[in-house]
Chains A and B, each alone.
Chain A
Amino acid sequence: MRVCHQKPAPPNGQSPALPRGLVGETFAGMKTRIIQDETAVSAPVIAIHNLTKDFGTIRAVDDLSFVAAEGKVVGFLGPNGSGKTTTLRSLVGLVTPTSGTATINGVLYRELHDPLSEVGVMLEATAHPGRTARDHLRVLAAEARVPAKRVDELLELVDLGGAARRRVGGFSLGMHQRLGLAAALMGDPRILILDEPANGLDPEGIRWLRDFLRGLASEGRTVLLSSHVLSEVAQTVDEVVVINHGRLVTHAPLEALTSETTRRVRVRSPQYEKLAEVLASSGLTAWSDGADALLVAGDTQEAIGQLAFDHDVVLYEIATEASNLEDVFFELTSTPVLEATP
């Protein structure tokens, strides 16, 4: 059995679970959290506002809103099929939103004067398999009116100098990703939008990517980085936007997410099912954890103990557990969104 409910947003729109110094909001009637560092004053360079995209009867993105501030590295997270790629494609004008807007520096992508010098985009690491890495970038450089010497600089930057004259068809996935990054950096942009850049990389490749992105971030670039694995980007991002079923689940600084959301309470009870109902009716999220145990998120050990006592539920055990990033991500994205809508 699995009980999975989200806590309804309190009337003032703030989540009681939020750490001090953070503010929360609700979006579209479901419990979502926007947690912002009050000291952050940077202007948003990427703004998604009530974005919705339908493909026929399938709603890929559903009233999604969030912003990415200048100089931040934002992880854009969600399971496969959650709408990340559609959102990013809407942001750069490859997909036309059904409603809502997605802007960069306040304007639509197609209104940017010189797009590649403002935004570097890697949506998929693709190139014609019959063309060499160098020729692939030369084509892009010619198109973007970038001096050809930039091509060799970029190949060295992504450690592909030795493979410059090899045909892309013979590249490993990691080399494809590096080439995609090189293409994204062609115009030396201040904003980078990278869709699953670590997808399929081996541990060494992920480490290389992490160091590479850290280097970009240290230069003050704004990076919007999608992934379906939180731990993959955890050491790189400043904040995370989590979506599921096309909807915003949470937008928070990474520390807030890992310090607050990772707290879970494990409860054992012979009245397991009754406890599950009590927790659900109180709006808490609970997961089955063995034959007679539940993992509860969203409140403290004391509050859950009091709740059980108030409803005459016998407890054998109650303890706070810390969970890892994978658990946090799973908790955030495994909740059926429809149940979360009041």
Chain B
Amino acid sequence: MTALVRSELLKLRTLRSTGFVLLGLLGIVGITLIASISEAEASNTPAELRDPLLLIGYVTALFLVAMAANASAGEFRHRTISQRFLCNPARGRVLVAKMVTYAVAGAIVAVAMVGLAIAVSDPVLVSKDLSLGLGGIELARMAGGVVIGAVVFAILGVVVGMVSRNPTTAVVAIFGLLLAELLIGSLIGGPTNYFPFALLQSVLGLTDHTPWGLAALILAAVTVASVVAAWRLFLWRDVT
């Protein structure tokens, strides 16, 4: 498994698109910081000041789910999946290696992005006599939410990619689901708080529609169910 994960990491490192994704994320971090710092005085509480940082965590999770889905489905598009399965006839190992790789890489990237945002914004806010109010508990909760969101959505991205086997289909399915969730949410409200993207917001602390722990638990359950379904129903399809 170690060799497989190392191979997956090498795949990520040796593609320019990985760098482009990171640059894109850094760009979003920069834009978000500039916007939030320039309007910091309008915020009334530390929690409001923290929202842009959590938004970075949310956007990072969206990037990760799309990237994982695109990369996993891309193995089928470029037909390199044959080599993966030839090297590892037990296909479950390939799926697990991809999930572990994207989960770990996703968590590191998400923490790095949010950490960078905190590192940049905190001194600026302090100079304006403002505070993010990141005590031990708040910081731990924020870090936990960011890591859980990144890990869960990276894994879901891998699952969607392996099931769809087509990068375009995978990415459209993910953002179609997000759009559908928003539309349905605007129509029926409450029940959509338990949909994946709404739960991500709750886990991150962007909303408090669902308690943090419950949201994390439901997201974990959805992820496990998705992985089991992908493993049992889709992993052993013919590779033609």
Q: How far is the CB of B229 from chain A (nearest CB, A)?
A: 19
Complexed CA–CA distance, A110 and B90 (Å): 7
- The answer to the question of B74 belonging to the interface, with a C-beta cut-off of 8 Å to chain A, is yes
Determine if A121 and B239 form an interchain contact, defined as CB atoms under 8 angstroms apart: no
Determine if A139 and B7 form an interchain contact, defined as CB atoms under 8 angstroms apart: yes
Complexed CA–CA distance, A42 and B86 (Å): 26
Q: How far is the CB of A267 from chain B (nearest CB, A)?
A: 44
Which residues of chain A come closer than 8 Å to B115, judged between CB atoms? none
Complexed CA–CA distance, A115 and B88 (Å): 8
Determine if A131 and B89 form an interchain contact, defined as CB atoms under 8 angstroms apart: no
- The answer to the question of A214 belonging to the interface, with a C-beta cut-off of 8 Å to chain B, is no
- The answer to the question of B240 belonging to the interface, with a C-beta cut-off of 8 Å to chain A, is yes
Main secondary structure of the interface of A (DSSP, over half): mixed
Determine if A96 and B16 form an interchain contact, defined as CB atoms under 8 angstroms apart: no
Determine if A139 and B11 form an interchain contact, defined as CB atoms under 8 angstroms apart: yes
State whether A144 and B240 are in contact (beta carbons under 8 Å apart), knowing that A126-B79, A135-B14, A139-B10 are contacts in the complex: no
Which residues of chain A come closer than 8 Å to B78, judged between CB atoms? 126-129
Which residues of chain A come closer than 8 Å to B45, judged between CB atoms? none
Which residues of chain A come closer than 8 Å to B80, judged between CB atoms? 126-128
Complexed CA–CA distance, A142 and B88 (Å): 12
Determine if B238 and A115 form an interchain contact, defined as CB atoms under 8 angstroms apart: no
- The answer to the question of B124 belonging to the interface, with a C-beta cut-off of 8 Å to chain A, is no
**Which one, A11-19, A86-94, A254-262, A306-314, is touching chain B?**
A86-94
Q: How far is the CB of A226 from chain B (nearest CB, A)?
A: 15
- The answer to the question of A280 belonging to the interface, with a C-beta cut-off of 8 Å to chain B, is no
State whether A143 and B7 are in contact (beta carbons under 8 Å apart), knowing that A123-B82, A124-B79, A126-B78 are contacts in the complex: yes
Q: Give per-residue flags for B84-110: 1 if the beta carbon is below 8 A from chain A beta carbons, else 0.
A: 111111100000000000000000000
Q: Give per-residue flags for A258-289: 1 if the beta carbon is below 8 A from chain B beta carbons, else 0.
A: 00000000000000000000000000000000
Complexed CA–CA distance, A129 and B17 (Å): 11
Q: Nearest A residue to B9 by beta-carbon distance? A: A142
Determine if A143 and B16 form an interchain contact, defined as CB atoms under 8 angstroms apart: no
Q: Give per-residue flags for A128-157: 1 if the beta carbon is below 8 A from chain B beta carbons, else 0.
A: 111110010011101111000000000000
- The answer to the question of A76 belonging to the interface, with a C-beta cut-off of 8 Å to chain B, is no
Determine if A128 and B88 form an interchain contact, defined as CB atoms under 8 angstroms apart: no
Which residues of chain B come closer than 8 Å to A124, judged between CB atoms? 79, 82
Which residues of chain A come closer than 8 Å to B6, judged between CB atoms? 142
20 sample A-B contacts, Cβ–Cβ < 8 Å, listed by A number: A93-B85, A94-B239, A111-B89, A112-B89, A115-B86, A115-B87, A116-B87, A121-B86, A126-B78, A126-B79, A127-B80, A128-B80, A129-B78, A130-B17, A131-B11, A138-B14, A139-B10, A142-B6, A143-B83, A143-B84
Interface residues of A (CB under 8 A from B): 55, 86, 89, 92-96, 109-112, 115-116, 121, 123-124, 126-132, 135, 138-140, 142-145, 183
